[in-house]
Amino acid sequence: MNWVLEIFLDILLLTTAIVALQAKDLMTSAVATAAFGFTVALLFISMGAIDVGFTEAVVGAGIVGVFFVAAIYRTTRKTKD
Amino acid sequence: MTNPSQSLIIKMVSRTLATFIQVFGIYVIIHGHYSPGGGFQGGALLAAGILLIRMTEGREESQPTLATAIATPLASLGAVIFAGLGVVILFFGGNYMDYGAVPVPGMEVPVVRYYGILIVEVGIGLAVMTGLVSIFDDMVRTNRQSGPDMGRGGMS
Amino acid sequence: MDMSKGKKILGFLSLLSLTILLLVAVDSLPKRGLPDAPAHQVINAAGNTGAGAYFIQSAYEDAATPNMVTVVLGDYRSFDTLGEVVVVFAAAIACYLILRRREDEEK
């Protein structure tokens, strides 16, 4: 059953990565990046690396998202391209 | 960021949640010898609790939780605890970070290393927590001039 | 117009060939967790098979700590962890020096 979960997580990983790249609103990109980090953490935990997954869940999904939001408030919210 | 949230629900929920996040962060640091976790993860959790209050209450109002002026010196203190423990071991004749070289009366060598790891984890947690809070404070600090409609490209 | 279309096709072809190359490389790797993978055949300096066999066998006797990841991060490889903390601290100091404004400037 583990491979079903991993394929689902891989699809979710690709979806959040494409959303983070293609969104015009940078706030959407920041939230999608946080979701990407949490999916990576779940993949790490499903492979048995609990410590790495814990670090990734705290840093990649929590702190980095907060820093991205702060950086967006300092600069601009819409992308130019 | 610098203009806090007006909603009472968000304020009360984040105040309650930050308490539990920080207790869990302390648990992760102290219990890192027996369960997954350690100084880095626990320090990041403690920083997440403080950043939650910083975002909802505003930077000026949340200064009593952890003042910006002491965040950077505390980060230095955490790094000095870590590096200084290695230097202390050098004076006892051991290698750098070889905790077992310190002769503590009434303790076996593995137990001395156990407490050495604990001191190092507390130093890492302190450095990571205050370092992340300091970075966040520096990023939102000059935001006051840009007015309430930030997020739509204030250039100031 | 024609030039940009040619560039786009060229970029797509190079991406496609890179994808095929990476997929072939991943397919030829040993399966995850296989006990006779090449990484588990190494004889390390302590005379055991496996790169981390010494740490797994003697982590509890050395530091009286059940979680061997903590022992590796905090004791055997504490110099790596010191570098990790110094990286975070250097980021904080860089933000302090570049972004922080003094109080008299703010007023």
* A6-59 pLDDT per residue, tens: 999 999 999 999 999 999 899 999 999 999 999 999 999 998 889 999 999 999
Is residue B38 within 8 A of residue B124, CB to CB? The reply is yes
Average pLDDT estimate for B106-126 = 91
> E-strand spans in C14-100?
none
Residues of B with CB under 8 A from a CB of C: 32-36, 38-40, 72, 75-76, 78-79, 82-83, 86, 96-97, 99-100, 108, 110-111, 113-114, 116-117, 120-121, 123-124, 127-128, 130-132, 134-135, 137-139, 141-142, 144
List the single residue in A58, A67, A73 with the smallest CB-CB distance to B41: A58
Is residue C100 within 8 A of residue B138, CB to CB? The reply is yes
Same domain, C70 and C99: yes
Same domain, C5 and C56: no
What is the Cα–Cα distance from A35 to A38, expressed in whole angstroms? 5
Same domain, C74 and C94: yes
Average pLDDT estimate for C27-33 = 81
Cα B52 off chain centre by: 13
The lowest-confidence range among B113-122, B144-153, C85-94 is B144-153
List the single residue in B38, B48, B143 with the smallest CB-CB distance to A62: B48
What is the Cα–Cα distance from B48 to A65, expressed in whole angstroms? 11
Contacts of C100 (CB under 8 A, 6+ apart): B137, B138, B141
Which structure tokens are listed for B92?
A: 């006892």
Judged against a pLDDT cut of 90, whether residue B74 lies above it is answered with yes
The lowest-confidence range among B32-36, B103-107, B114-118, B139-143 is B139-143
Unique residue bearing structure tokens 């648990």? B27
Same domain, C63 and C81: yes
Same domain, C77 and C102: yes
Unique residue bearing structure tokens 């370092």? B131
**Residue C70 C-alpha, separation from nearest chain A C-alpha, in angstroms:** 9
Same domain, C98 and C52: yes
Q: Domain extents for chain B?
A: 8-143
Predicted TM-score (pTM) of the model is: 0.82
The tens digit of pLDDT for each residue in A59-71 reads 988 899 999 988 8
Subunits adjacent to chain C (3 or more Cβ pairs under 8 Å): A, B
Judged against a pLDDT cut of 70, whether residue C104 lies above it is answered with no
Contacts of C35 (CB under 8 A, 6+ apart): none
Contacts of residue C83 in chain B, CB cutoff 8 Å? Answer: none
What is the Cα–Cα distance from B53 to B63, expressed in whole angstroms? 10
What is the Cα–Cα distance from B99 to B86, expressed in whole angstroms? 8
Partner C contacted by A47 (CB < 8 A) = yes
Residues of B with CB under 8 A from a CB of A: 1, 36-38, 40-41, 44-45, 47-48, 51, 55, 132, 135-136, 139-140, 142-143, 150-153
Q: Which domain holds residue C20?
A: 1-30
Is residue B143 within 8 A of residue B1, CB to CB? The reply is yes
Asked if A47 and C69 come within 8 Å (Cβ–Cβ), the reply is no
HEC string of B97-146 equals: CCHHHCCCCCCCHHHHHHHHHHHHHHHHHHHHHHHHHHHHHHHHHHHHHH
* Smallest CA–CA distance from C72 into chain A, residue: A51
Contacts of residue A51 in chain C, CB cutoff 8 Å? Answer: 69
B7 phi and psi angles, rounded to 5 deg? -80, 130
Question: In chain C, how many domains are there?
Answer: 2
Partner B contacted by A5 (CB < 8 A) = no
Is residue A35 within 8 A of residue A65, CB to CB? The reply is no
Average pLDDT estimate for B5-32 = 91
Q: ipTM of this predicted complex?
A: 0.84
